[in-house]
């Protein structure tokens, strides 16, 4: 293998490595945004559960009364 072939292979490997780095960075950014969205959604679900429980208490709704008799 001559020097120019070796240099061409090295260049190709460097290009591939750069594309892989770019892909990893893009995936990391997407994952970070998804994690933030998940945390926000979890907080919203907690708030909705608290609001639902508060409404049930305000209207005197009992969970045990709502369950079918076979439970």
pTM exceeds 0.85: no
- 71 in a structural domain: no
Residue 53, pLDDT above cutoff 80:
yes
- 25 in a structural domain: yes
Provide the residue range defining the domain that includes 61: 3-66
Segment holding 44, helix H or strand E: helix 3-59
Spatial separation of the C-alpha atoms in residues 39 and 43, rounded to whole Å: 6
Spatial separation of the C-alpha atoms in residues 31 and 38, rounded to whole Å: 10
- 9 in a structural domain: yes
C-alpha radius of gyration, the chain, whole number = 28
Give, in degrees to the nearest 5, the angle at Cα 53 between 36 and 70.
110
- 37 in a structural domain: yes
Number of structural domains (the chain) is 1
3-state SS assignment for residue 64: helix
pLDDT single digits (tens) 6-43: 999 999 999 999 999 999 999 999 999 999 999 999 99
Residue 4, pLDDT above cutoff 80:
yes
């Amino acid at each position: 293998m001559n020097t120019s072939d070796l240099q061409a292979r090295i260049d190709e490997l460097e290009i591939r490595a750069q594309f892989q780095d770019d892909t990893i960075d893009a995936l990391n950014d997407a994952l970070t945004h998804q994690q933030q969205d998940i945390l926000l959604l979890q907080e919203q679900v907690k708030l909705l559960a608290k609001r639902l429980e508060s409404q049930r208490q305000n209207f005197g709704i009992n969970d045990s009364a709502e369950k079918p008799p076979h439970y």
